[in-house]
Chains A and B, each alone.
Chain A
């Protein structure tokens, strides 16, 4: 049963309700909207910029490699013992991790170690991934942790716990903002952001309206790619970012957001997206609006789906890099470290390239060879 309230109270609450509804739409327009000059919220301590990695300060420390053995050639590398490697990713739904995992599995098979895969049951759930790592520490049956943290800032404390428990961390994809790691393997997301803008400005002749779609706010790769894009855009004042929203890495969300943005911004030359899923969502929206091919859409990841779209001319370009190699290399570093080798490079950044119609066939062949594409 609901409450017996006097009718007068009800009238007043109705009036308040109507006023609130109108305010709700009008007021946020006066609040800070997503602007091109986005900065992180003041409450989070703004870190000092470091060259080459955008304006996020990675206070991560690289372990003192006490290994003394000279690194063995890759072809003859074999693990001393059947080490156990824990391979921790962010979720079980994004195909990106599948490629990374395959790399890890192939490396493990080649070098003679076992890999146990972990991921949170609820996608990108930080407390869950934290619990998983804590469990691994307690179980003490992993010799190495290959890890892509969901939240590179929030999980620093967790990294330090692993450090205390002497579990070596082989960080990949999202570089931690603190703690001690042995190696980091991934992409230079800041450079990729700059790279895609550098590529597009030539296509656009340094002028035009563009829309930017970001990944999940607060995620390393999302933040760095965004910063890279904005940094490069400073060089081209005639390219205007008419809308800048997040679609949270999701195709369905990008579809809806793009559909809506196209209404308020009908004159758009390009849509630059931080990953392929969002880019393909934008493409689907353009299809609906009959603008397929007239607006150039770019993505990042070069997933099989995206490569097919590039070949068909629906997606203009995507940033290609190998998640497979990242996973593979991380396990390789773990084996070398556990073998007692001196690891020469502790930061391993995979190359990236822009894939468009001119080189898409090569990218597809590549993927087929690895086995992530049929």
Chain B
């Protein structure tokens, strides 16, 4: 049942993406060149990797505001280690380990100590950014070993590495969410947390898993960006968080939790990237880019509502009973005394 609805949602969004591509292609024919399309995919890949972790988190009804800072932390930590002469693979592993660990901490605080995700990840945003700045100590690290650079600049069977990573991550996430029990549990936790817990799902462990995964993916994104730029500094986190969140939201993942998925996130990221690509091609002032990003968020969700209306024609709307309030998004809900904690 969920699959069919999800298909409809992603179709409406794919339609929106195609309309956008068509509009851009008309005013900027260079858009359709194969090199440009590859560029768009490559630019979107970083956002998609970040947004995939976010999707899993939002599906459980939470949020992870720290992903951009974790990206910067991975970049600076690996950059610093490589500059100190540590072999690139050890540096990369260490950076990934660090951000995964931070994700784990997020998960523990949210699942075990049961602090609201919004505040915990906001705090982690500061902590991770702080450590990134400390590690970088106002430097830009540069000049990394060629094998490391391959991660961001290399080609595998003619496909740029960032796109390879993006595809692997998205495919793995989709499989996990739709073909494994863990995935079903994640959806269930978001849709109705009380019912999920009562039906025996180990909510705590699953929450820890998704936040840890989010931390891992943020680290991966950081490494790929560092490899692409052959440089690392603490400022790479700027303007990364909100577009990633927007991509997830445009993609139709509901903040209710329990609805949406990776396909939508990929389409949402592509919509955002195509928009900016189009504006660069047309040499449009970047001030309009922020406006456009904001508008597309609202417009895309409007379209989603329209698609739902189409699907539900004639059906009477039934409110979800017992689901967590939509806007909670990791904000604190009064501990229910009815169901003892």
Contact = CB atoms under 8 A, between A and B. Distances in A.
The short answer to whether A and B are in direct contact, CB under 8 Å, is yes
Contact of A18 (B19, B236, B284): B19
Contacts of A251: 140, 229, 231, 233
Contacts of A281: 229
B201 interface: no
Given A28-B292, A33-B284, A245-B283, A263 B140 contact: no
B142 interface: yes
B234 interface: yes
Given A24-B292, A281-B229, A17 B303 contact: yes
B317 A33 contact: no
B170 to A, nearest CB: 20
Contacts of A16: 302
B139 A98 contact: yes
Interface string A118-156: 000001000000000000000000000000000000000
A25 B278 contact: yes
Given A18-B19, A25-B278, A263 B317 contact: no
Interface string A230-254: 0000000000000111101011100
Contacts of B286: 34, 245-246, 248
Interface stretch (A4-12, A71-79, A161-169): A4-12
B143 interface: yes
B335 to A, nearest CB: 21
Contacts of B278: 25
Interface in B1-49: 16, 19-20, 23-24, 26-28, 30-31, 33, 35-36, 39, 43
A18 B284 CA distance: 21
B115 interface: no
A217 B290 CA distance: 14
A277 B296 CA distance: 30
A64 interface: no
A: contact size bracket: 35 or more
Nearest to B16: A21
A170 interface: no
B320 A14 contact: no
A4 B317 contact: yes
Contacts of A94: 138, 233, 235
Contacts of B158: none
A289 interface: yes
B179 interface: no
A245 B302 contact: no
Interface string B30-71: 110101100100010000000000000000000000000000
Given A4-B317, A7-B309, A263-B39, A34 B285 contact: yes
A204 interface: no
Interface in B279-324: 279-288, 292, 295-296, 299-300, 302-303, 305-309, 312-313, 317, 319-320
Contacts of A21: 16, 19-20, 23, 296, 299
B153 interface: yes
Contacts of A25: 20, 23-24, 27, 275, 278
A257 interface: yes
- B interface, over-half SS: helix
B305 A93 contact: no
B304 to A, nearest CB: 9
A32 B234 CA distance: 34
B283 A244 contact: yes
A154 to B, nearest CB: 18
A311 to B, nearest CB: 11
B98 interface: no
B275 A263 contact: no
Contacts of A37: none
Tell me which of B138, B278, B317 has the highest count of chain A C-beta atoms within 10 A of its own C-beta: B138
B215 to A, nearest CB: 21
Given A29-B282, A263-B33, A93 B299 contact: no
Contact of A17 (B160, B228, B306): B306
Given A4-B317, A255-B229, A28 B303 contact: no
Interface of B: 16, 19-20, 23-24, 26-28, 30-31, 33, 35-36, 39, 43, 133, 136-140, 142-143, 153, 160, 225, 228-231, 233-236, 238, 275-288, 292, 295-296, 299-300, 302-303, 305-309, 312-313, 317, 319-320, 325-326
Given A21-B20, A21-B299, 16 more contacts: A7-B309, A16-B302, A28-B292, A33-B284, A93-B138, A95-B139, A123-B235, A244-B283, A255-B228, A256-B43, A261-B283, A263-B35, A264-B283, A284-B229, A284-B230, A287-B153
26 contacts: A7-B312, A13-B306, A14-B306, A14-B309, A17-B303, A18-B16, A21-B20, A24-B295, A25-B24, A28-B288, A31-B288, A33-B282, A93-B133, A94-B138, A94-B233, A217-B287, A245-B280, A245-B283, A245-B285, A245-B286, A252-B236, A260-B39, A261-B283, A263-B31, A289-B35, A305-B143
- Nearest first, the 3 A-B pairs at minimum CB distance are A14-B306, A260-B280, A10-B309
